[in-house]
Structure 1
Amino acid sequence: MVNTVITIGRQYGSGGRAIGQRLAEELGIKYYDSELLDRASKDSGLCQELFQNHDEKPTNSFLYSLVMDTYSFGYSSAAFTDMPINHKVFLAQFETIKKIAEEESCVMVGRCADYALSDYPGCLSVFIHADLDKRIRRIAKKYELTDAAAKDKIHKTDKQRSSYYNYYTSKKWGDANGYHMCLDSGVLGMEGCVELIKKAIEVKNAHQKK
């Protein structure tokens, strides 16, 4: 039996995390965000602090192709032992995401989960975005910031997520071609996004049974 795994990429301030949490709650399945870091730390034996320090942070220290070549050798190899720590962290997350998908249906937010599960038949990849002005209002209200400070925080966080995703995958962060669904939470609302994702799961499952 193939589990259903919804991966959610998100622009900062678009409500992607809240949408993922609500979706998981309504479907009665587990939600993974920072929880992925805890699991990856336990699975790999690497210190949890390393995952927190490198969480969705971009890097320029190593070639992507070498990272993925090393992944094919497995953790016990000398190649993995000699890798920079940021790549050990990424590969540990990559492996954990695959393990979780095999174990249970769930919602995963960020951390290139859509890429890690690109060949997994039960995966539905979603990207949540919204108009910048709406995201500014959301972040300014949530963190009690000025509009200027909220805008700066949004730009910095989106740039960080984009750089991380583009570096470690063969896709482009936020490009509609790389996801099954792209939803505008500013237009659809959070409840609307949740309902559309639930409907998409139904349609996808029915289509695969044909």
Structure 2
Amino acid sequence: MRSIITISREFGSGGREIGKKLADDLGIPFYDKELLEMASKESGICQELFVKNDESYTNSFLFSLVMGNYPVSADGRINPDMPLNHKIFLAQFETIKNIAKKGPCVIVGRCADYVLKNEPNIIDFFISGNTAEKKKRILERYDIEKNKAEDFIRKTDKRRASYYNYYTDMKWGEAKNYDLCINSSKTGVDGAIKLMKAYIEIKEANADK
């Protein structure tokens, strides 16, 4: 096992649960909200600010960063006068890159597939789900009125899509941007994991040929 696995997911699709169980099965680290805490500690920026800006766009900084157009000082360091929200995105970007350097892992969301797109051992999954099943999962996990659940899901997915589309040159949820797209409503959590493990095995075997 040598792959770095990223999981993009629709809200309520079980993407986090699937990612955590996959990581446990494979015996590799798992990162979701944990990534924000790490970025906060490494950068010295308050963790609440990472949570506030989590998968919500405010500018095109991350795209500029990936494209190599971010502002630097004369000695090559990131400009200390950079706005705070830019620093937050940079810290998260660097944390994702540092995590990948440590070896196989599972990273959920936060444009990790795009940040790591040049890594040789990257495998990108997208998890979707049917509205009824997503609504049921959300109502079980969040204190929200039943008649507002569907709107909550729609707005959260819209926010995630806007974040991803704005900071990358790809479209969130578009099949060609991922190795494999899975509808967890049809496979179930365990079925999704089984498919992902099979794909990882196939891809790694083909890479060895």
Q: What is the TM-score with the length of structure 1 in the denominator?
A: 0.89
**Segments of 4+ moved more than 6 angstroms:** none
Which residue number corresponds to residue 123 of structure 1? 122
Asked if structure 2 preserves the Cα contact closer than 8 Å seen for 1:137 and 1:147, the reply is: no
Query: Do the aligned partners of residues 143 and 43 (structure 1) sit closer, same or farther apart at CA in structure 2, a change above 3 Å counting?
Result: closer
Structure-2 separation of matches of 1:47 and 1:140: 30
1:136, distance to aligned residue in structure 2 (A): 1.3
| 1:199 and 2:188 correspond | no
| 1:81 and 2:80 correspond | yes
Query: What is the percent sequence identity of the aligned residues?
Result: 48
Greater CA deviation, 175-184 or 84-93?
84-93
1:71, distance to aligned residue in structure 2 (A): 4.0
Asked if structure 2 preserves the Cα contact closer than 8 Å seen for 1:70 and 1:79, the reply is: no
Q: How many residues align?
A: 207
Query: Do the aligned partners of residues 70 and 80 (structure 1) sit closer, same or farther apart at CA in structure 2, a change above 3 Å counting?
Result: farther
Which residue number corresponds to residue 13 of structure 2? 14
Which residue number corresponds to residue 51 of structure 1? 50
Secondary structure at the counterpart of residue 124 of structure 1: strand
Q: Identify, as 1 or 2, the structure richer in helix.
A: 1
Structure 1, unaligned runs of 5 or more:
none
1:192, distance to aligned residue in structure 2 (A): 0.5
Query: What is the CA deviation profile of residues 174-201 of structure 1, one whole-angstrom value per residue up to 9, with x for unaligned ones?
Result: 1111111100000011000101111111
The correspondence of residues 1-210 of structure 1 with structure 2, limited to 5 A, is 3-59=2-58, 61-62=59-60, 66-67=64-65, 68-71=67-70, 73=72, 77=76, 80-143=79-142, 145-210=144-209
Q: What is the TM-score with the length of structure 2 in the denominator?
A: 0.90
Q: Which amino acid aligns with 1:191?
A: D
Query: Do the aligned partners of residues 167 and 151 (structure 1) sit closer, same or farther apart at CA in structure 2, a change above 3 Å counting?
Result: same
1:4, distance to aligned residue in structure 2 (A): 1.6
1:203, distance to aligned residue in structure 2 (A): 0.5
Query: What is the CA deviation profile of residues 120-150 of structure 1, one whole-angstrom value per residue up to 9, with x for unaligned ones?
Result: 1111100000111221122123325443211
Structure-2 separation of matches of 1:127 and 1:98: 20
Structure 2, unaligned runs of 5 or more:
none
Secondary structure at the counterpart of residue 170 of structure 1: coil
